[in-house]
């Protein structure tokens, strides 16, 4: 996989380049301080990915995306969170990284790119992934005082990490289980659940409203972390 970096700040280009160097099989073939230079390059070359700053003098990242006829996968890099909604109006934009970007977050982004590239080349994989998610079933069994209690996914509102425990909140009850958020996340269907904070997974269908940096699920106000917000925004059916 190859990429270019477009950012008017030299420090930002160097940082993204350093992040790329940590990823196997990802080559930075060039970097550009202006969108115009990058467009000239793309007229004669093809790349798999562009790491693109939104806020550049004279020519914004969004202007840049609109000029590309067959855009590759684009990852936006920005100091602002306010453009997330607009970002997901563009099919080519697969992720939205808020500076300063950690290696962990960058690796997640690479996974998204790979996923998006693979979906592009194999349309049938979409069908396969939906059938595999249905294999998870409709319920989850949790161990409470040596009893296995069945909880339907649709009844779960949210799951909160509390130290060594997690609390599974349903409409009627809250179950406290000694486990980790990461483990339960693997058992949940992706189409229903989404991690929106280090300590919270929510049932996406139970959202009542979203305000600033929090989501209302029934009577629970759940914080949205900066890094998880773009994925949440991407999954909303926005008007």
Interface residues with other proteins (CB under 8 A)?
A: 8-12, 14-15, 18-19, 22, 55, 57, 79-80, 99-100, 102-103
Q: Is 11 or 120 the residue whose CB approaches other proteins more closely?
A: 11
- Estimate the share of the chain in helix, then strand, then coil, as percent rounded to the nearest 5: 35, 35, 35
Nearer Cβ to other proteins, position 61 or 72?
61
Query: How far apart are the C-alpha atoms of 174 and 87, rounded to whole Å?
Result: 37
**Separation between Cα atoms, residue 22 and residue 25, nearest integer Å:** 9
Q: How far is the CB of 57 from other proteins (least distance, A)?
A: 7
Smallest gap from Cβ 182 to other proteins, in A, equals: 22
Distances (CA, A) of 196 to 20, 59, 86, 99, 209: 25, 32, 19, 18, 14
Nearest-approach distance from CB 231 to other proteins, in angstroms: 21
Q: Which is nearer to other proteins, 27 or 139 (CB)?
A: 27
**Residue 193: strand pairing partners:** 203
Q: How far apart are CA 23 and CA 113, in angstroms?
A: 12
Q: How far is the CB of 106 from other proteins (least distance, A)?
A: 10
Nearest CB to other proteins, comparing residues 78 and 157: 78
Q: Indicate the angle between helix axes 103-121 and 124-134, nearest 10 degrees.
A: 120
């Amino acid at each position: 996989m190859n990429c270019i970096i477009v950012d008017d700040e030299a420090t930002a280009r160097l940082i993204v380049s350093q992040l790329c160097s940590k990823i196997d099989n990802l080559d930075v073939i060039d970097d550009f301080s202006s969108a115009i230079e990058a467009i000239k390059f793309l007229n004669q070359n093809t790349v798999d990915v562009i790491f693109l700053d939104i806020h550049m003098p004279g020519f914004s990242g969004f202007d840049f995306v609109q000029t590309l006829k067959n855009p590759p996968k684009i990852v936006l890099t920005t100091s602002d969170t306010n453009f997330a909604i607009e970002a997901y109006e563009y099919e080519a934009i697969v992720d939205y990284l808020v500076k300063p970007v950690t290696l962990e977050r960058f690796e997640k982004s690479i996974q998204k790119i790979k996923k998006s590239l693979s979906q592009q080349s194999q349309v049938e994989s979409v069908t396969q992934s939906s059938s595999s998610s249905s294999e998870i079933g409709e319920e989850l069994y949790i161990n409470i005082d040596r009893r296995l209690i069945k909880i339907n996914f649709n009844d779960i509102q949210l799951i909160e990490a509390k130290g060594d425990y997690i609390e599974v909140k349903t409409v009627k009850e809250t179950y406290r289980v000694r486990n980790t958020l990461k483990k339960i996340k693997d058992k949940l269907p992706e189409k229903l659940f989404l991690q929106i904070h280090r300590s919270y997974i929510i049932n996406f269908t139970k959202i009542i409203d979203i305000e600033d940096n929090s989501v209302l699920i029934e009577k629970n106000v759940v914080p949205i972390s900066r890094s998880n917000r773009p994925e949440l925004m991407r999954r909303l059916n926005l008007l």
